[in-house]
Amino acid sequence: MHIFSARGVPRVPIGLVPTAQGWVMAQVSLDGQACPQPLRCQVTPDVPSEVRLAGAAVVLALPDEHFYFDTLSLPSTVAVEDIEFQLGLLWADRLPWPLQDCAWDWVLLSDQAGEVTWSCCAVLQSAVQHWQDWAQQMGCTLLAIEPAQQALDREARWPRQGVAGDDSASARLAWGLSLRTADDTAGFNLLPHRALRAAQARQRGWRQLALCVASLALALGGGEAVLQSVASQREATAAAQAQARSAQELLAQGRHRQAAQWTGLQAQAEARTLQHRQRSAPLDWIARSVPPAEAGLQWQSVHWQPDRLTWVGLAASELLFNQWRLGLGEGSVVQRWEPVRWVSPESAGSHAAWLFEVRLTPAAP
C-alpha cells in the first residue's frame, strides 16, 4: 500500500462521530515516512474546539442504512466524459428515490472483457445538505461524507497498534474517518453533489471541443506553409470547414438526444416516486417507530410487504443488536439469530459477526 503517492502533501482531517454521549474526535499525525500515527482520540459533550478553528478539515460518516448500494456495468468503449450520464440512466431505474433528490458517487471495480463494472452508492441529498449547513455554521470544511462501513474497513487496514485508549465502535469509526487522506484505496465521497459534478463535466467537454478546434486551426496553418499550389490550399480549407460543420451538427444532435433522454428519465422518476409513496403508505407507522441503527449494524436487505417489514443483516456483536432491538417494541419477532464468520470484500480475512432477521408487524388494535 502506497501512502500519499503522487498527491503532494495531503490535508490531515479530523474524524468526527456524533453519539448520544457527545462527540468522538480522532486525528492522526504524519511521521518522517509519511505514515499515520495516532495524535488524539477524545470524547467531548460539545463540538470539540479543534473543529471550530478556521480551516479545520472534517470527515463525517452516515449510518449504512441511509445509503443504497448497487453494481452497474458499462461497455469499455464509453468515453470518460459520458460515464456519469450513462450510469445515471441505469442508476435512476434502480434507486428507491428520484435521482434528482440524491447525492451519489461511484468507484471502479473491474475492467475486463470489454466491460467496466462500477460500484455505486446513493443517499438522499437532504441528509448531506444537513451536514453541509452544520459545517458552514461551525466554520469548518467538510472534506468528505462517506458510509460508516467504508471507514470501519479502512480502520481494519490501519489498526492503532500499541496505542492504549478507547476501543469502542465510535472510536474505531472516528479513527477510520481520520485516515481518509492517508489511504490510497478508492472510496465513496458524497461531496460535492453530483449536480455540481455534472456541470463541471459539461464545462470540461466544451473546453475539449475548443482545444480540438484550436488544434485543427493550427494544423491548417502549418499545412498552408507547405502547400505548393493554390488549388491544394483551397481543397484543405474546404475539408476543414466541412469537418467543423459536421462536428457542430453532431454536437447539436447529441445535446438534443441527451435533453430528450433526461426528460424521459425525470418522468419515470416521478412515476416511481408516486408508486413508492402509495406502496409505503400503510407502513409509515413502522418507519416512524424504528430508531436509527448504531455503527456496527449492516443491512443486507429490507423487505416491504403489505403486513410486515423484515430486516436481514449483520451485527458486530450480540449486545449491540439487542440494544438496538429494544427500541422496536413487542411487535418485532426475531426470525433468525446465529453467529457467522463474515468475509469483507474490501479487506483480507474474516470477522466475527451475527446474522439476524427481524420481522416487524403491526400491533393489535
232 and 343 co-located in one domain: no
Q: Which domain holds residue 31?
A: 14-64+126-182
Q: What is the pLDDT of residue 194?
A: 52
Peptide bond just before 192 cis, omega within 30 deg:
yes
- Cα dihedral 133, 138, 144, 146 sign: negative
Query: Domain boundary at 80, 96, 121, which?
Result: 121
| Predicted pLDDT of residue 242 | 82
| 58 in the same domain as 151 | yes
Q: Give the integer Cα–Cα distance in Å for 141 and 109.
A: 29
Tell whether 131 and 57 lie within a shared domain.
yes
Q: Which of 257, 248, 206, 268 is nearest to 85 (CA)?
A: 257
In tens, the pLDDT along 307-340 reads 666 767 777 777 777 777 776 665 566 655 566 6
Task: Give every CB contact of residue 95 below 8 A, 6+ residues apart in sequence.
Answer: 68, 102, 122
Q: Cα separation of 180 and 159, whole Å?
A: 14
Same domain, 109 and 136: no
Q: Same domain for 161 and 36? A: yes
pLDDT of residue 318: 72
Give the total number of structural domains in the chain: 4
Asked whether residue 246 is domain-assigned, the answer is yes
Same domain, 73 and 160: no
Statement to judge: residues 78 and 210 lie in one domain = no
Low-confidence ranges of the chain (pLDDT < 70): 1-11, 30-35, 160-166, 186, 192-211, 217, 219-231, 274-301, 303-309, 311, 327-352, 354, 361-365
- Rounded-to-integer distance, Cα 70 and Cα 122, Å: 9
Kindly state whether residues 266 and 205 are assigned to the same domain.
yes
Strands 22-30 and 67-75: unpaired
194 domain-assigned:
no
Question: For the domain that residue 298 is a member of, what is the CATH number?
Answer: 3.30.1360
Residues 137 and 170 in one domain: yes
Position 313 scores a pLDDT of: 74
In a domain, 8, yes or no: no
For 267-288, what is each residue's pLDDT tens digit?
887 777 766 665 554 455 455 5
219 and 160 within one domain: no
Check if the beta carbon of residue 144 is closer than 8 Å to that of residue 206: no
Cell of 303: 423487505
CA dist 302 and 318 (Å) reads: 20
Q: Are residues 37 and 158 in the same domain?
A: yes
Largest CA distance in the chain: 96
What is the pTM (predicted TM-score) of this model? 0.51
CATH code for the domain of 26: 3.30.420.40
Residue 8 is predicted with a pLDDT of 43
State the Cα–Cα distance between residues 94 and 69, nearest whole angstrom.
10
